[in-house]
Structure 1
Amino acid sequence: MNYVDRKGNRFVNPITTRQLGKSGITVSALGMGCWAIGGEMWIEGKYDGWGPIDDNESIRAIRRALDLGVTFFDTSDVYGTGHSERILARGIQGRRHHVVIATKFGFTYDEASRQITGANLSPAYIRRACEASLRRLQTDYIDLYQLHCGASAEQVESILETLDQLVTEGHIRAYGWSTGDPASARLFAKGTHCVAIQHGLNVFGDAGAMLDLCEQYDLASINNAPLASGLLTGKYTADSVLPANDFRTAGHEWEPYFDSGRPKPEFLQKLAAVREILTSGGRTPAQGALAWIWARSNRTIPIPGFKTVAQVEENCGALNFGPLTTQQMDEIATLLG
């Protein structure tokens, strides 16, 4: 497959691919997470974005990812309360059929104030959310439609029924759930067209039970936080302090790697312990972290976020190195205990 460098020269990139579970859909082994390019939003009064964005740079970054062989983009209707989906649509304009789009539903939000207001999992709301995402993405189908919030066992039955109807009607091709709970994922995995579970996975946080479940049910493992909220890029030190308009400063209880905008010392120590292995062969720390994920399972698809062309190029560069070796994985496991 041919790719294009920044000067317009064509070349062959030894990119690897992964299967999107049992769907028959092939995607690049690296996806792009589109949370950051959504820009500002708030939940329960707390900032929930990644700081200022430049929409033109976001679009350039999406197009650069496409040129480097990325075919999988993960977003959500709630990222920037719709803004991320709109920017993704502009970035892939004219290339929709070369791209696999994953988006999410479940949260309610106010687009004007960019506030996340709650959740709604009723069949009627799921349909409205799907229609709204289709409009923003400027497409007539969504490849992977993912539940983005928690749900009870009773709700799951109704959700699956609605999603199966959306598949039959051609609005979506398949569905999944973004959850860190294997028990919840197991309920969803029984759905006829469930092909993926999105969950956290990185050098600092393994997810053995979830990977086992994905293997059992023939699901793709889509990995958010592959760079541990940026900590695994290696650019943060004990003296780093993030600005107020950054979710890592906002005090979200679900953010494990930063405290009040500062990287937690225990994770800086862990990174220092394994940095030499991650940077083997000329990799950057981020590229090594992605290599760890690929080595962990042949079902994994990491989706690092981005705001710039440079970040996309660094992350895509990991594809040229491939996964870590078994020996390197064992060494990291020993060092991190």
Structure 2
Amino acid sequence: MNFSKIRRLGRSGIATSAIGMGCWAIGGHFTLDGKPDGWGDIDDAQSIRAIAVALEMGGTLFDSADAYGTGHSEAILGQALAGRRADVVIATKFGFTYDASRKALLATDVSPTYIEQALAASLQRLGTDYLDLYQIHVGDLADSVADATGEALERQVALGKIRAWGWSTDSAAAAGRMTKFPHFTAVQQELNVFHDGPDLLALCAQENLASLNRSPLAMGMLTGKFSVQSRLAASDVRAAGHSWVRFFAGGRPRPEVVRRVEAIRELLQTGGRTPAQGALGWILARSPHTLPIPGFKTEAQVRDNLGALDKGPLPTAVMGEIDTVLAAQNDLV
């Protein structure tokens, strides 16, 4: 199989590892709509060690946001990457206002003035004078607001503060409107074995955009570690009662999702893969534009995730078998 461990960040041409590191979990506790939006307890020293392992294994793409821990994720990432700036691709996001003293997200703001403030703060926390990719974190914007935001981001490119920019949205129509801007290069979309995104993938192919893939392991379900008896801590976003958390309910994995994982577990483990590596291999096979960004808190998780680089995309035949099995599972619901 001819598989490159390096992919391009869309039409920017920036080279990055085919699998990145999602830095939401290492941000620690914060709230959204008064509910926990982090991933439970963290150990900053462990986070820094995990990032060092990622660098050793060839991981070069790190995706954060100022919302994650209201700046804490960026600060830890900045510490971990000190002295390695030239070796990595740093992506972060903006758009949520927050009260850092309360670790609370408050509202949204993508105005040009706020972009300047948010960008300056992110650069300081990350210990760099430029970003490789700066992404809009707010998924839905009115057309006029989106245009003003795009113009403001192009100005930041001209100032040398960012190299390229993108949008975390699941709307192909919204993302398509941004392709008129020369430095719009990436869409961050939810993509995993249980949640496909063909419209956005088609747009990425047509416009040579990168597809950064959030929730590539279905919020951990595709690691295969959960059973119907599993119970998550109240401090975990998956137990907080957010309407958009679809794979868990009441702090427990949904039984029908557990059944689907078990139905495809053997297929995901094709070629000696772990379930997580199979799930990431599914994304790598889905499109040459994909860049999955699984989250992590431990060195073991990093080794598992980036181990998928050596395994590569799932074979085409296995992709078809997974489709068949999941279709049968859906018929049973």
Q: Same fold (TM over 0.5)?
A: yes
**What are the Cα deviations for residues 239-292 of structure 1, in whole angstroms up to 9, with x where unaligned?**
001010100001101111100111111211111111111011211100000000
Deviation at 1:296, TM superposition (A): 0.2
Report whether the alignment pairs 1:275 with 2:297.
no
Q: Distance in 2 between matches of 1:299 and 1:268?
A: 29
Q: 1:301 aligns with which of 271, 278, 291?
A: 291
**What are the Cα deviations for residues 218-244 of structure 1, in whole angstroms up to 9, with x where unaligned?**
100000000000000000001001010
Report whether the alignment pairs 1:323 with 2:317.
no
Question: SS of the counterpart of 2:324?
Answer: helix
Q: Distance in 2 between matches of 1:206 and 1:195?
A: 20
- What's the counterpart of residue 37 of structure 1? 26
Q: 1:117 aligns with which of 106, 112, 117?
A: 106
Question: SS of the counterpart of 1:142?
Answer: coil
- Root-mean-square deviation (CA), in Å? 0.9
Report whether the alignment pairs 1:61 with 2:50.
yes
**What are the Cα deviations for residues 157-185 of structure 1, in whole angstroms up to 9, with x where unaligned?**
11011000000000000000001111111
> Residue 15 of structure 1 contacts residue 69 of structure 1 at CA under 8 Å; is this kept in 2?
no
- What's the counterpart of residue 27 of structure 1? 16
Segments ≥4 residues shifted beyond 6 Å = none
Report whether the alignment pairs 1:190 with 2:169.
no
Q: TM-score, normalised by structure 2?
A: 0.96
Q: Distance in 1 between matches of 2:143 and 2:51?
A: 37
Q: Distance in 1 between matches of 2:258 and 2:56?
A: 34
Deviation at 1:15, TM superposition (A): 6.3
- What's the counterpart of residue 199 of structure 1? 189
- What's the counterpart of residue 8 of structure 1? none
Q: 1:229 aligns with which of 211, 219, 235?
A: 219
Deviation at 1:120, TM superposition (A): 0.8
Report whether the alignment pairs 1:335 with 2:325.
yes
**Which amino acid counterpart does residue 244 of structure 1 have in structure 2?**
A
- What's the counterpart of residue 86 of structure 2? 97
- What's the counterpart of residue 175 of structure 1? 165
Q: Distance in 1 between matches of 2:94 and 2:240?
A: 23
> Residue 122 of structure 1 contacts residue 159 of structure 1 at CA under 8 Å; is this kept in 2?
yes
The percent of aligned pairs where both chains have the same amino acid is 54
Q: Distance in 2 between matches of 1:215 and 1:151?
A: 23
**What are the Cα deviations for residues 282-335 of structure 1, in whole angstroms up to 9, with x where unaligned?**
111000000000000000000000000110011111111111011000111111
Q: Distance in 2 between matches of 1:320 and 1:109?
A: 39
**What are the Cα deviations for residues 86-122 of structure 1, in whole angstroms up to 9, with x where unaligned?**
0001111110110000000111001111000001111
Q: Distance in 2 between matches of 1:15 and 1:300?
A: 13
**Which amino acid counterpart does residue 265 of structure 1 have in structure 2?**
P
**Which amino acid counterpart does residue 306 of structure 2 have in structure 1?**
C
Q: Distance in 2 between matches of 1:57 and 1:256?
A: 29
Q: Distance in 1 between matches of 2:170 and 2:259?
A: 25
Q: Distance in 1 between matches of 2:199 and 2:154?
A: 26
Q: TM-score, normalised by structure 1?
A: 0.95
Report whether the alignment pairs 1:212 with 2:196.
no
- What's the counterpart of residue 5 of structure 2? 16
**What are the Cα deviations for residues 183-232 of structure 1, in whole angstroms up to 9, with x where unaligned?**
11112232210010000000001111110011111100000000000000
Unaligned regions of 5+ residues in structure 2, if any? 328-333
Q: Distance in 2 between matches of 1:198 and 1:100?
A: 15
- What's the counterpart of residue 133 of structure 1? 122
Q: Distance in 1 between matches of 2:167 and 2:150?
A: 11
Q: Distance in 2 between matches of 1:39 and 1:80?
A: 5
